[in-house]
Amino acid sequence: MTSLPSPRIDGERLWSSLMEMARIGPSPMGGSRRLALSEDDVAGRRLLLAWTDALGCEWRSDQAGNLFIRRPGRDDSLAPIAVGSHLDTQPLGGRFDGVLGVLAGLEVFRTLHDQGITTERPLELIVWTNEEGSRFSPAMGGSGVYSGRLSLETFREAKDRAGISLGEALDDSGFKGSLTRRDLPLGAYLELHIEQGPVLERKGLPLGVVTGVQGLRWYDLEFVGESAHAGPTPMGFRHDPLMAATAFVEAMRETVLADPEGASRLTVGDFQVTEPSRNVIPGKVTLHVDVRHTDEDQLTVLDGQLRAHVAAAAGRESVEAQVKELWHMPVTRFDTTLVNDLSAAARAVGHEPFTMMSGAGHDAVNISYVAPTAMLFIPCRDGISHNEREYAEPEHCTIATQVMCDALLRAAERH
């Protein structure tokens, strides 16, 4: 028999809140589409605030529009213990990525409210702005501004495809505040998230305690050749930037697959031909490249290999190439005390903790620079996320939220 910690969270209430949130900005195949600071993203935040208003919680927002929803403690002079994630989604996103972390925090608040429990430290439920980065680049912008790792100016200047800046969208959202991290210090930060990968599911585990996050580097690659008519230009006389780009992708793929630990990742998220025409050799091709590794030294090696492959591919096709690094997020290691809190809480619900590195970046990475931080993962079906078919088992959501509740209470009693 496992000994559940009290208080017990309500898994059915959690699930029904997840499903209600998913109906805001529904996507065609049953997922969600709440692009950062869109009308639907704002509506999702309003729904959450209606729920926390009912618990008597007050909310504040900072300059980046991050929401801080407060549950007072016995000693409100102490820095709060925070729980949170994000409510924005990919263009065709799922119902759990981000949302679960926020609504797990809501469920903890509801449980404590129902049972009349007051913690020593105050608690803070946080919704970070623009985690996904798909409407406005870079991703994890709100937590970036909060932590000081991204300037407010850069954050606000990012534009979507329609030319609307994040700053304009934020000003219109009603969530722009004047506070900064000085006004909103955190004693600790815990985030529950779906794994967004296949590891827990393949191992048949209901949860994983996350000890850190793999590093990533984002690049824009540009190959510039010579646009010319397709038919009469012999292959050997061409300066074809598209074939340089495909040569680069194939070579970089080989490099990544050669990693004996399988810890290297390569994703080409976009491949654009400028002024495409069916019977014209392209003049310019642009790639968006995402490279990741769990070891910072190996990530540096991958960066060098990428640059070498770009140069070789451009040389093969006699074209010019440019590598522009947009973003470098180094490998992150989380706080040992909080990792231990989560491990102890997992044991308390009868699960020997499995520790793992995250493959995805999260707001928790930014927060780890300014407060003790750790994360908890649950499996998602087939490892799929950023997809309408993303799915997490209700049972896993319940177990993990129980673990989060227990870990938050442990941290909130500590001075």
Of 72-80, 120-128, 230-238, 406-414, which segment contacts a second copy by CB under 8 A?
230-238
Structure tokens at 58: 């007050």
Selected binder of a second copy within 153, 270, 297, 352 (CB under 8 A): 270
Q: Which residue lies nearer to a second copy by CB, 44 or 283?
A: 283
Give the three-state DSSP class for 324: strand
Residues 127-156: x/- map of binding to a second copy (CB under 8 A)? ------xx--x-x-----------------
Q: From the centroid of its chain, how far is CA 332?
A: 14
Helix (H) or strand (E) holding 254: helix 241-257
Q: Which residue lies nearer to a second copy by CB, 137 or 165?
A: 137
Phi/psi for 379 (5° steps) reads -70, 155
Min separation Cβ 209 and a second copy, Å: 15
Min separation Cβ 79 and a second copy, Å: 30
Q: Which residue lies nearer to a second copy by CB, 246 or 340?
A: 246
Count Cα neighbours of 125 within 13 Å in the Cβ-side half-sphere: 30
Q: Which residue lies nearer to a second copy by CB, 97 or 107?
A: 97
Q: At what angle do helices 11-22 and 394-413 cross, to 10 degrees?
A: 110
**CA–CA distances in Å: residue 18 to residues 48, 230, 232:** 11, 53, 59
C-alpha–C-alpha distance, residues 289 and 271, integer Å = 9
Give the three-state DSSP class for 96: coil
> Taking CB under 8 A as the criterion, which residues in 279-298 touch a second copy?
279-283, 285, 288, 290, 292
Of 66-74, 175-183, 269-277, 299-307, which segment contacts a second copy by CB under 8 A?
269-277
Min separation Cβ 277 and a second copy, Å: 5
| Binding of residue 5 to a second copy (CB under 8 A) | no
Bridge-partner residues for 223, per DSSP?
A: 285, 321
Give the three-state DSSP class for 227: coil
C-alpha–C-alpha distance, residues 316 and 301, integer Å = 23
| Binding of residue 312 to a second copy (CB under 8 A) | no
Q: Which residue lies nearer to a second copy by CB, 154 or 272?
A: 272
**Beta carbons within 8 Å of 148's beta carbon, 6+ residues apart:** 181, 369, 370
| Binding of residue 267 to a second copy (CB under 8 A) | yes
| Binding of residue 386 to a second copy (CB under 8 A) | yes
Q: Which residue lies nearer to a second copy by CB, 89 or 119?
A: 89
Closest CA to 341 of 408, 251, 257: 408
C-alpha–C-alpha distance, residues 222 and 159, integer Å = 20
Q: Which residue lies nearer to a second copy by CB, 48 or 314?
A: 314
**CA–CA distances in Å: residue 327 to residues 288, 292, 324, 334:** 12, 12, 9, 21
Count Cα neighbours of 331 within 13 Å in the Cβ-side half-sphere: 15
Of 43-51, 87-95, 151-159, 396-404, which segment contacts a second copy by CB under 8 A?
87-95
Min separation Cβ 207 and a second copy, Å: 15
Q: Which residue lies nearer to a second copy by CB, 33 or 410?
A: 33
Residues 337-376: x/- map of binding to a second copy (CB under 8 A)? ---------------------xxxx---------------
Selected binder of a second copy within 180, 227, 318, 340 (CB under 8 A): 227
Selected binder of a second copy within 40, 62, 88, 195 (CB under 8 A): 195
